[in-house]
Every structure is written in structure tokens, then in C-alpha cells.
Chain A
Amino acid sequence: MPLGHYLVLSGLLFAIGTAGVFLRRNLITLLLSVELMLNAVNLAFVAFGRQWGAVDGQIITFFVMTVAAAEAAVGLALVIGLFRHRESLNPEAFTSLKW
């Protein structure tokens, strides 16, 4: 399969993730959207790595996965913290700061 196909898929996933961050109205889904964006980037890295015939791209993916896990841990902890204050997962419920 040519490189272009992978890149188009990666771009689509990235766009879906971006749209999700702006459009979805649930804190957990917002986190999932960001994870989707990171995984779209992973796909691009693997595809580029294959094109260059080097393992770099695949190794980078492991680093990114680790970072994503750390981010998810902090993000979920913050969601729990927010939920304790308002018993809601709707971002509109949290408006004590001006957006």
C-alpha cells in the first residue's frame, strides 16, 4: 500500500479527534477525542518509519503511548475531581471561570 493511504487515514482520524474536542459535550468523550488524535499521529509515525525503512517511527510510537497513558491518568483524575464538585460530566456545568 502506498504511503498516501496511511497518511489520509491518519489525517481523517486526527480531524475526527479535533472535531470531537470542539463538538462533544461530555468530559470523558473529550479525553477520548484527544487520545484519538495522539493515535492518529502514531499511525503517521509508523507509516513514515516504514517508508524510510527504519524502526525509529515504531519506537517513537511506544514513547507516545506512554505519554498518552500518563495524560489519561491525570485527565481522569481531574474528571473525578470535577464530578465531585458538581455531580455532572457536562462541560457547561463548569463555568466559574470565564471561558
Chain B
Amino acid sequence: MTSGQFDAVIPIICVTLAGLVVLLAEAFRRKGEHMPIGGLAIIGLLGAGAASILLWDSNAESFGAVTADNFALFVNLVLVGVGILTVVFSSQTVDRDRLPAGEYYAMLLFAIVGMMLMGQATDLLVIFLALETMSIAVYILTGIRRDQQQSTEAAFKYFLLGAFASSFFLYGIAFLYGVTGTTNIERMSTAIAAQSMSGNPMILLGIGLLIVGFAFKVAAVPFHMWSPDAYEGAPTIVTGFMSTGVKAAAIAAFVRVFLKGLDPMIADWAPVLWWIAAATMVVGTVVGVAQTSLKRMLAYSSIAHGGYILAALVVGTDVGKAAILFYLAAYALTNLGAFGIIAILGTRERANDDLRDYAGLWHTHPALATLMTLFLLSLGGFPPTAGFIAKWYVFSAAIGSGYYGLAIIGVLSSVVSVFFYLRIVVMMYMTDRDARPIPPPVHPVAMGGLVAALIGVLYLGVLPTRLIDLAQQSISTIF
């Protein structure tokens, strides 16, 4: 055994250890004793982030199934950011909702373990295991408010459809294994290229089943039905975590499997994904307009954003791949910020996520109203925010490769989406507050997290070149 064999999994090990320590800390905690369990989680995440930075450019590989190329490390860093922000915002919600802190943070960390492994895995079987590690932890997080029927119900729906989609995904792996004799992505690509399998029904079936599995996880139309329900029923901060982390991890694996392993079959799957991406952008936006619950509205917005990312995947050029990475980072910061604010404004009894709850927020919480406005503008794609650059990058990639249809649908749907983001803004500033109780004061740690997310959003909006360069470097090493 060489010393370098474990290098690629060090970030994953850091987070796993942190998760185990958190569980132990909870087990040895005396009743009523207060422990900074969230702090332990942040230490583990920072360790994983540091390890990812140290591994940059090393192209380490472990066990022939896990790699630490720059693409995976970039996704790791996004996930570390998602994790830290989630933990920071949870400082306000865990005590308020009386969640079991140990289990909550441990599940959060184990979900991140699965997400990181999804980005790093180079073997379909390991991707499946990572997907399940992530999903099972997220099912539990969704249903962690056991006293609320809504939360349990959301968890069960998510669980049932998630397990259902996982078996489609696995069936797809089985067919690809049957045709190529391997589950390793690179060897699979070589095997497919060597014997020109275009039109082989078994491999087409396998690809189709894999698309169903992935489309479910990124909530792409027509496999998006679970997401508004799961997003609405889950505790708000978990919704933020799901809509950014799960999406980022699933997209990372999607890119690796389709643009590396199944690249020789691109002519067969690209048209299917074209339609899925277009339908996802349109349905996410149009149905989102009709929502009155903020969480559901942002759930549909998150579906639409998944569509933009899929559009970049269909383009599949180097610009498209870099655009995916940039979009993931920009979207994670923005969306977590927005969900963080909704989570902070909630109370133990109610999530306070109705559009009416935001009437006159400017008069009671001017700081939160300003932050929310900026996050919503970024989601809508206004300059000078990260969301604008991310969308511009995706659409320019599409136009650069002649995908005019996708670019036009994307621009139109993002124009429509501006309507529902601005509706919230109008509600906050221009409507009088009716007789509702004033939301509780904001925890300083959570406020710090919100400001950090905002700085990130503005930084990426004004000076995006650094991150774009990094994204381009990341994809050049593997494809």
C-alpha cells in the first residue's frame, strides 16, 4: 500500500470524522447541557475545504474509483460553502425548532459526504452508493420535525419517489454493465467507442434509465413532481440545503457520467436532454408564477435554475462545462441566502413562508429586506450580481455552439421569472404591514452568514474572472 492511496478521499474522511464526532458528542451530552455542536461541524468542513485546496492540481486517485481532479475539487469547495452556510443559518433554527442537534448536524455532514463522493467517484457503482448515502441522510433531514405531520409527509413522498428513481438509476447501471462489462466510467467510454454501439437497444435503454435517475435528482421536468412538496414540507433551512447541495452533487455526477463515460453516444442522448432542459426551464418558471407560498415559489425557481444548468450540459463544450461550475457556485450562494432569510423569519409553529408574511418587511427588518432583495435580484439575473454573470455565461455558451433555441427559451423564461421575484420585493417595500406578529430578532451568527453570502454574490457579480478562470482550469484536467 503506497502512502498516496488515500489522498483523494481525505476531504471525504474529514467530513465523515466530523460527523462521527458530532454523533459521539451528542451521545455524551448531559441533559440540558449546551454544546457548540455546530462548531464541530464547521471545523470538519473547513478541514475538507483545506484538503481540497491542497489537493488542487494533484489529480490524486484512490482505489481506482475515487478521483480528486480539479473538477471534483471545485465541486467539493462549493459543497463546503453550502455546508458552512447551512450550519451557520441553523444556529438560529435548531434551538428555536427544538431539533435534536446531534442527529441534525450528523445527518447534514453525512449528506455532504455523499455529495462529495458523488462528485469524486469515477465508477458508476460508487456513484450509486454516494447517491444513496446522500439521499438517505437528506430523507431524514426532511422529516426531522417529527412533531409536524407536514414534515413527515414530505419526507415520505421524497423517500418513496427517491427510492423509486434510484432503482431506475441502478437498472441503467446494470444495462451499461451488461453491454460494456465494466462499471468504471473511463473503461466504459473506451469500450463504447471501440465497438460503435449507436443503436444498440440495450445501451440506449441503459442511458435512458440513467437519465431518468439523474433527472429525478436534479428535479428536471417531467420528474420534478416531488420537489415542491418536499421543499415545502421540509424545515426551511433543509430546503435551502437540498436545493443547492443535492443539485450541485447530482449535476457533478451527471456531467462526469454523460460528458465523459457516455461521450461517444452524445448524438443519441443530447436531443433528449435538449427537450428536458427546455421543458424544465419553461415549466419551472410558468408554474412558479402561480405560487403564493414563498418556499414553493423558490422550489419552482430552483427547478428552472436546474434547467439552465442542464442547458449548459447539453451544449457540452468547454465553455458549457465551465459555465456549469460557475452557475453551481453562484446559485448555491444566492439560493442559500434567500432560504436562510426565510428560515430566520420563521417561528416554531409556522414557517412564515406565505407571500403575505413579507408585507412591509422593510418597516420591521430593513436589513433583512435589503439582503432578500439582493438575493432575489441575483436569482432573477440582474447585474451586478452573480446570477447575471452565471446566466450570461450559460446563454453565451449555448449561442457560441449554435444552440439558439435553448438560448432563446432560457432568456424568455428568465424574463418571466423576474415577475415572481419582483413580486416579493414589491410586497416587502410597498405593502403595509397587516396585524401579524413581528418576527423574532436575528441571531448575530446567522446575520454574519447572510452578509458573507451577499458579499460572495456581489463579488462574483462584479469580479467574476477569477472564478471563471478557476472553473476553466477545473474542466481542462479531466475531459
Chain A contacts to B: CB under 8 angstroms = 14, 17-18, 21, 27, 30-31, 34, 37-38, 40-41, 44-45, 47-48, 51-52, 54, 56-57, 60, 63-64, 67, 70-71, 74-75, 78-79, 81-82, 85-86, 94, 96-99
Contact = CB atoms under 8 A, between A and B. Distances in A.
Contacts of B157: 97, 99
B140 A44 contact: no
Interface string B155-192: 11101100110110011001101100111000000000
Contact of B149 (A38, A47, A86): A86
A75 B166 CA distance: 14
Contacts of A86: 149
B155 A78 contact: yes
B245 interface: no
B178 to A, nearest CB: 4
A91 B112 CA distance: 31
Contact of A56 (B128, B183, B228, B233): B183
A50 to B, nearest CB: 11
B163 A75 contact: yes
B69 interface: no
Among B146, B154, B177, chain A packs the most CB atoms within 10 A around the CB of B177
Nearest to A78: B156
B140 to A, nearest CB: 6
A70 B136 contact: yes
Contacts of A64: 170
A53 B154 CA distance: 44
Contact of B153 (A14, A31, A96): A96
B150 interface: yes
B183 to A, nearest CB: 7
Given A38-B170, A41-B167, 11 more contacts: A14-B167, A34-B163, A48-B174, A57-B177, A67-B132, A71-B136, A71-B159, A82-B149, A94-B149, A97-B154, A99-B157
A96 B148 CA distance: 11
Interface of B: 125, 128-129, 132, 136, 139-140, 143, 146, 149-150, 152-157, 159-160, 163-164, 166-167, 170-171, 174-175, 177-178, 181-183, 225, 228-229, 232-233
Contacts of B143: 78, 81
Contact of B163 (A27, A45, A71): A71
**10 closest cross-chain pairs (CB), A and B:** A48-B178, A37-B167, A44-B174, A85-B149, A81-B152, A97-B229, A78-B156, A34-B163, A52-B181, A67-B132
A34 B162 CA distance: 10
Majority-rule SS of A interface residues: helix
A75 B155 CA distance: 9
Nearest to B142: A78
Nearest to B160: A30
Given A78-B155, A78-B156, A96-B153, A56 B170 contact: no
A30 B125 CA distance: 25
A41 B160 CA distance: 17
Contacts of B164: 18, 21, 34, 37
Nearest to A96: B150
Majority-rule SS of B interface residues: helix
Given A14-B171, A27-B156, A63 B125 contact: yes
Nearest to A37: B167
Given A21-B160, A81-B146, A99 B174 contact: no
30 contacts: A34-B167, A38-B167, A38-B170, A40-B171, A44-B174, A44-B175, A48-B177, A54-B181, A57-B177, A63-B129, A67-B132, A67-B166, A70-B136, A71-B159, A71-B163, A74-B140, A74-B159, A75-B159, A75-B163, A78-B143, A78-B156, A79-B156, A82-B156, A85-B149, A96-B149, A96-B233, A97-B150, A98-B228, A98-B229, A99-B157
Contacts of B175: 44
Contact of B152 (A14, A37, A56, A78): A78
Contact of B159 (A17, A56, A78): A78
Given A17-B167, A82-B152, A45 B177 contact: yes
Among A52, A56, A97, chain B packs the most CB atoms within 10 A around the CB of A97
A48 B154 CA distance: 37
Contacts of B229: 97-99
A22 to B, nearest CB: 9
Contacts of A18: 164
Contacts of A51: 178
